[in-house]
Structure 1
Amino acid sequence: MSSPECFVVITGGPGAGKTALVDRLAATGLARSPEAGRGVITDQLAIGGRALPWADRVLFAELMLSWDLRSYHQARRQSSPVIFDRALPDIVGYLRLNDLPVPEHVHTAAQRFRYRNRVLLAPFWPEIYRQDGERKQSLYEAERTYEHMAAAYTDYGYELVHLPRTTVEQRARFVLDELT
């Protein structure tokens, strides 16, 4: 079973190249945990559900919590590092971003289920930001999301390591070097 020190989180604002980086790292053979928010949005759109950030933010956060807890437990069965495309503290950042209270059970989850202490933070990068069917935030909201994610991880005692603004290949090399 993997220990939390093998759980590598990549976080930041939307459209900063996180998922492309996680995809590239997965192509090298590393295990991955997909982003909860995008997964919930995809599922909710497919079934006509209301747990969407533009419909019911509290319910959306609860489904992200369930997704991330399940992903955490699945990662424990891996024998090698697991790359997480966002993690539990992101839910706290999301709630704060939207001026919503952080329920005690969300706070408890972010405290109890730990990841590698050095969290990789993708900086706000307006030059590559693109909206799509699941990413509807403005540039301003993307920057604020980045700030809230950085603050949430710092509040839970993680050390932030800023990813360089460079190609996906160079970012992947940076992460692989970070793991050695």
Structure 2
Amino acid sequence: MNVRPTRIPDVLVLEPKVFGDARGFFFESFNRKAFDAAVGRAVEFVQDNHSLSARNVLRGLHYQLPRPQGKLVRVVRGEVLDVAVDLRRGSPTCGKWVGEVLSAENKRQLWIPEGFAHGFLVRSTEAEFLYKTTDYWHPEHERCIRWDDPTLAIDWQTGGDSPVVSAKDAAGLRLADAPLFD
């Protein structure tokens, strides 16, 4: 596995070693020992999630407070622009974002540690998105920052099209009004 830090060093791109031939391919999508070594600590995942979304659907920017979730995300069909926003008060990158294209073709994964908001925009006809989380979903602790927050100024690469968002995501808070992690 190749591990590459992003502009926010705690957010990591994981690229598996893929073995392919005329029959297809094989790769290890998760190995706890290798993953823990890559992130520099023992991580326990407690929940796996799987979503299907159509082109131009934007989900996010979601986080839980006070029950933060670290997320290991990947795409098994299609392509998304995946975004993480640092919400750790006192972090030198607090209020900054990074984005990575994840696809079934490139097989990359993104590690988003606790203390970040997360979202993605579907760039293909459809995308199946898988993610492991370090804590369970607690709806009472769920928070959302608007995808189009002017302070964040995320380049979602929509080509001028308005993304399809849920009513909950459209009602997200501005970064300036959102609770942050201590």
TM-score by length of 2: 0.34
Normalised TM-score (structure 1): 0.35
* Higher strand residue share: 2
Asked which structure has the greater CA Rg, the reply is 2
Higher helix share: 1
More contact order relative to length (CA 8 Å, sep ≥ 6): 1
